[in-house]
Amino acid sequence: MNTISTRGERLKKGSASRRVQNKLDLKRQILESAMTLFETHGYDGFSLRQVAEAIGYSPTTIYLYFKDKDELLFNIAYEGFRDFGLALQAAYDSSSDHHERIWRIGRAYFDFGMNHPVHYRLMFMQRGEFLAQTAPTGYTDFVDSFSILTRALSEGMDEGKIKTFDPQMTGGLLWASLHGVVSLVLTNSHLPPETAEPLFAWQMQILERELRM
Amino acid sequence: MNTISTRGERLKKGSASRRVQNKLDLKRQILESAMTLFETHGYDGFSLRQVAEAIGYSPTTIYLYFKDKDELLFNIAYEGFRDFGLALQAAYDSSSDHHERIWRIGRAYFDFGMNHPVHYRLMFMQRGEFLAQTAPTGYTDFVDSFSILTRALSEGMDEGKIKTFDPQMTGGLLWASLHGVVSLVLTNSHLPPETAEPLFAWQMQILERELRM
DNA sequence: TGACAAAATTAACAGTGTTAAGTAAATTGA
DNA sequence: TCAATTTACTTAACACTGTTAATTTTGTCA
């Protein structure tokens, strides 16, 4: 009976995990479909019923996987925060020179905004409060993008390569400067898109001068 | 009959203008009510039916005065653009020293954002494209706020008080820097509100250093 | 007063997020 | 293998939303 019970348990566990897997698959499918719909229709034109239509389920099915529309939106945003954090981390890792490092983080920030305007708008302009929200279930390895910035700064300060200021404050200054350029370009008023790059370069140059000892 | 026809015409004209006046009054009343509702409920929670309820008219009445919800929203935003433009113009007029002038424009920008966060969000974060739209009927004396900035800059450059750059570009830099600080503070993530003022001051100081000859 | 024009309303449509009740399918234990 | 039960999903409904067309009320003129 040892073998029987073992086989039974194995079956039990197997089907149970298959169940969970299916659930995760559909949850992922919803999220995936929601993201593409969100990217094409934008914040205002995004609806749950469209998502349901796209995946071939009834609208209420979504509620079995997400508490409400806002939680789904948050998960969409979170995918962005994840990629954003990874991009900034990669920039951090790509150099050991402190100034070059900060330059590359700035570049990664700018590029993310230019390449993912719809996501950027959601994350930092329309629903900026999402950034302060705790990670949804299933995401463990989130890198806080702001921390990458402040770490790069305080390390540079500790090693005497960067002028000493309050790292939080300095991080805020950098963040604000980059966000200003990106969001102004995305908002698209008065600023032709070809001025984005030189404006970014200028801003970075000014910041570098401010921070260099 | 001269007098009679004259009196008749006068009556006619009088009642006609009274009619127009009433129309304008109601339009203004709708806009006024819409603004307070918008300020309290925010962009997402703002609805035409609420406005109708507040002014004691049926929802469809609004459509006699505004083409659709978006036009009403634009008018709400436009009231903001007007006040914003006036504040910047006043800042411009308040000093003849070029650097002081730019400093005060920056201060006016910052203060507007801090004092009218809901309006600021609508104007520059949620519906930034409104800025490029032409003025609604009834508004003639609109001052383009961006022009005030570029004028202050190019005048300073012409008189040799400000380092010579492309005024449009320099205006963009200033605008972006200010917008970055204000919108980051409004978005409220990672940045405690009491850091707004020092962050603004730092940003302005950096810009001043960049522009001073 | 009666004809006409303007102003406002009612009714309706298509769409939204969301909840509660009901159905079908998969899984379990005997 | 078969009934019991949990899980997955759907249908129906509610309370909203913006918006249009048809209709009624109101005001103004001869």
pLDDT at A21: 60
pLDDT at B136: 80
User: How confident is residue B23, by pLDDT bands cut at 50, 70 and 90?
Assistant: low
Does A15 score more than 60 pLDDT?
no
Lowest mean pLDDT: which of A62-66, A87-91, A96-100, B14-18?
B14-18
Does A7 score more than 50 pLDDT?
no
pLDDT at A100: 97
Q: Which of A148, A169, A41 is nearest to B202 (CA)?
A: A169
Structure tokens at B196: 């707004």
Contact call for residues A108 and A91 (beta carbons, < 8 A)? yes
Q: Whole-model pTM?
A: 0.89
pLDDT at B193: 82
Q: CB-CB: which of A175, A187, A189 is closest to B184?
A: A175
Q: What is the mean pLDDT of residues A32-53?
A: 97
Q: From the CA of A78, how many Å to the C1' of C26?
A: 33
pLDDT tens digit sequence for B89-113: 999 999 999 999 999 999 999 999 9
Instruction: Establish whether the CB of A65 is closer than 7 Å to any nucleic acid atom in strand C.
Output: no
Q: From the CA of A126, how many Å to the C1' of D13?
A: 32
Structure tokens at A172: 């805020």
pLDDT at B190: 74
Does A55 score more than 60 pLDDT?
yes
Q: What is the mean pLDDT of residues B34-62?
A: 97
Does A5 score more than 60 pLDDT?
no
Q: How many CB atoms lie within 10 A of CB A72?
A: 22
Residues with Cβ within 8 Å of residue B21, at least 6 apart in sequence: none
B195:A172 CB<8 A: yes
Instruction: Establish whether the CB of B41 is closer than 7 Å to any nucleic acid atom in strand C.
Output: no
Instruction: Determine the Cα–Cα distance for residues B105 and B90; give it in Å rounded to an integer.
Output: 8
Structure tokens at B60: 């469809």
Structure tokens at B65: 């005065």
With a pLDDT cut of 90, the percent of chain A lying above it is 76
User: How confident is residue A158, by pLDDT bands cut at 50, 70 and 90?
Assistant: very high
More confident of the two residues A128 and B154: B154
Instruction: Determine the Cα–Cα distance for residues B172 and A183; give it in Å rounded to an integer.
Output: 12
In eight-state DSSP terms, residue B162 is B
Structure tokens at B126: 């949620």
- In three-state secondary structure terms, A87 is helix
Q: Which of B87, B102, B104, B210 is nearest to B154 (CA)?
A: B102
Instruction: Determine the Cα–Cα distance for residues B105 and B148; give it in Å rounded to an integer.
Output: 9
Q: CB-CB: which of A180, A188, A191 is closest to B180?
A: A180
Instruction: Determine the Cα–Cα distance for residues B65 and A123; give it in Å rounded to an integer.
Output: 35
pLDDT tens digit sequence for B143-194: 689 999 999 999 999 999 999 999 999 999 999 999 999 999 998 767 788 9
Q: How far apart are the first and last CA of chain B?
A: 76
Q: Which of A188, A184, A187, A146 is nearest to A168 (CA)?
A: A146
Instruction: Determine the Cα–Cα distance for residues A171 and A148; give it in Å rounded to an integer.
Output: 9
B188:A146 CB<8 A: no
Lowest mean pLDDT: which of A84-93, A138-147, B91-100?
A138-147
